[in-house]
Amino acid sequence: MMKKFVYADHAATTPLMPEALEAMLPFLKEDFGNPSSLHSWARHARKAVDEARTVIAKCINAEPDEVFFTSGGTESDNWALKGSQGGVMVSAYEHHAVLNAAASEERRGRRIVRVKPSKGGIVSSRRLSAAWEDGVELVSVMTANNEIGTINPIGELAAFAHRRGALFHTDAVQAAGHIPIDVRAWNVDFLSASAHKFNGPKGIGFLFVRKGLKLAQLLDGGQQERGFRAGTENVASIVGMAAALKRNCECMGENAAHLDNLTSLLRNGIDTSFKRVVYSGEKEGPQLPGFTSVSFPGNSAEGLLHMLDLTGVAVSAGAACNSKNTQISHVLKAINARKEVARSTIRITLGPENTTDDVAAILRALRRFVR
Ligand code: PLP
């Protein structure tokens, strides 16, 4: 039988879309100018960066000068946390970009308050309120979780933080390009995104900073990004990111419908093939399109992942950055998953290019290897 390669790890990273590559190519070849120079090469590059900023701002309902380009989600999260002041409240199942930035600020003397999500993987304002401490000046809760795909009520959480006199940051790295983002409707102060999670290039992202607010700069140097983020702009990647976000926002409904259909097929197949399965984070609210976090108790997630890989099916066990390490994921711990469940949880994240044949191949592989 021919080996079928199926990529089902879109929460780790996504393939670069052709529209993004096409948009990038001129800036990797003839239009190589530095946007800060004063000749026509520079003007091309400057215009492209400005246009990309406008496109991205429109996709999240922001103003162009509220968008700051960064090297990705990790930098955006670090900037929001380290560039702010006062105590910080974070949820306990944030990505390590937020959790480790918070821990590093804690070592420097800042008060960090960690809030557990519910068992279903949702952070509510009630939870923030129960854990509230005076002195908290920034609340950071992710839009959607990267291991279980649950989506938080960001507007409600931002309103709560503001009522308590704090600013609100959300890590929207998993959400951007996949569910609608509206920084005005949500009334958030800072929002992080990363292009490689929405079919853009790796190593580029942005931080939305609401007009009138200032974060301390993370990098000292030149005057790029209005003096707040020094370093020659990654022009090609910025242009590719804008093309990818625009296209994904245009196709969002269509992609979500396709992914919902594939996810139902996958879950029906799992439910009819296996007696004991436990899904994480699905009952209380919406999940990201294409997201399935499922445990096959009695199996090792890592072992299963490697077996699936041998047959050409790529999934993940917990977060990608944890996949070499058999420790139980901090996300599954935070939602009180039983150890037996956590050890056997794999994450299957489908993308728009996946097909019903891909789902059939995943199910075949699972039936072959799950004990
Ligand atoms: N935040 C979340 C929720 C993520 O899923 C990731 C990547 O896995 C990051 C931040 C880090 O983003 P980047 O890979 O662009 O540094």
**pLDDT for 219-242, tens place per residue?**
999 999 999 999 999 999 999 999
Half-sphere exposure (Cβ direction) of 112: Cα atoms closer than 13 Å: 20
Give me ligand 1 centre to Cα 13, in Å: 9
| Mean pLDDT to the nearest integer, 245-256 | 98
Average pLDDT over residues 330-350: 95
Report the separation in Å between the CA atom of 344 and the middle of ligand 1, taken as the mean of its atom positions: 23
Quick check: CB of 248 below 6 Å from ligand 1?
Answer: no
State if residue 174 touches ligand 1 by the CB under 6 angstroms criterion: yes
Rounded to an integer, the average pLDDT of 252-275 is 97
State whether the beta carbon of 74 lies less than 6 angstroms from ligand 1: yes
Residue 27: predicted pLDDT:
97
CA angle 92, 93, 94 (to 5 degrees): 100
Contact 6, 362 (CB under 8 A): yes
Q: Is it true that domain 6-16+252-369 has CATH number 1.10.357.10? A: no
- CATH 3.90.1150.10 residue spans of the chain: 6-16+252-369
Taking 90 as the threshold, does the pLDDT of residue 272 lie above it? Answer: yes
User: Which CATH number, 3.30.70.2170, 3.40.190.10, 3.30.70.20, 3.40.640.10, labels domain 18-250?
Assistant: 3.40.640.10
d(CA 345, CA 333): 12
Residue reference for tokens 């090297």: 71
With a 6 Å cutoff on the Cβ, whether 282 touches ligand 1 is no
What pLDDT was estimated at residue 321?
Answer: 45
User: Does the structure show a pLDDT above 50 at 206?
Assistant: yes
Q: What CA–CA distance (Å, rounded) separates 138 from 318? A: 27
Q: Is 316 in the pocket of ligand 1 (CB under 6 A)?
A: no
pLDDT digit string (tens) for 17-29?
A: 999 999 999 999 9
3-state secondary structure 248-302: HHHCHHHHHHHHHHHHHHHHHHHHHHCCCCEECCCCCCCECCCEEEEECCCCCHH
Nearest ligand 1 atom to alpha carbon 321: 8
Ranges of CATH 3.40.640.10 domains, the chain:
18-250
**Per-residue pLDDT, 325:** 54
Atom of ligand 1 nearest to the CA of 11: 5
Give the confidence band of 371 by pLDDT, cuts at 50, 70, 90. Answer: confident
Q: What is the DSSP letter of 316?
A: B
pLDDT tens-place string over residues 292-327:
999 999 999 999 999 999 999 999 996 444 455 557
Ligand 1 mutation target, pool 174, 191, 234, 241, most atoms within 8 A of CB: 174
Structure tokens at 322: 């944890």
State the average pLDDT over residues 103-123: 97
CA 115/CA 93 separation, integer angstroms: 9
What is the pTM assigned to this prediction? Answer: 0.96
pLDDT of 2 over the 80 cut = no
Catalytic residue numbers read 321
* Ligand 1 mutation pick, 81, 142, 154, 173, max ligand atoms within 8 A of CB: 173
> CA-to-CA distance for 340 and 333, rounded, in angstroms?
11
Q: What is the arithmetic mean of pLDDT over 167-182?
A: 98
Q: How far is the CA of 115 from the centre of ligand 1 (A)?
A: 20
Instruction: Report CA(79)–ligand 1 centroid distance (Å).
Output: 13
Q: What is the mean pLDDT of residues 96-111?
A: 98
Looking at the predicted structure, is the pLDDT value of residue 183 above 80? yes
What is the reported pLDDT for 141?
A: 98
The per-residue pLDDT for range 71-94, each reduced to its tens digit, is: 999 999 999 999 999 999 999 999
299 lines ligand 1 (CB under 6 A): no
Crossing angle between the packed helical segments 96-107 and 73-82, to the nearest 10 degrees: 30
pLDDT of 138 reads 98
Is there an atom of ligand 1 within 6 Å of 149 CB? no
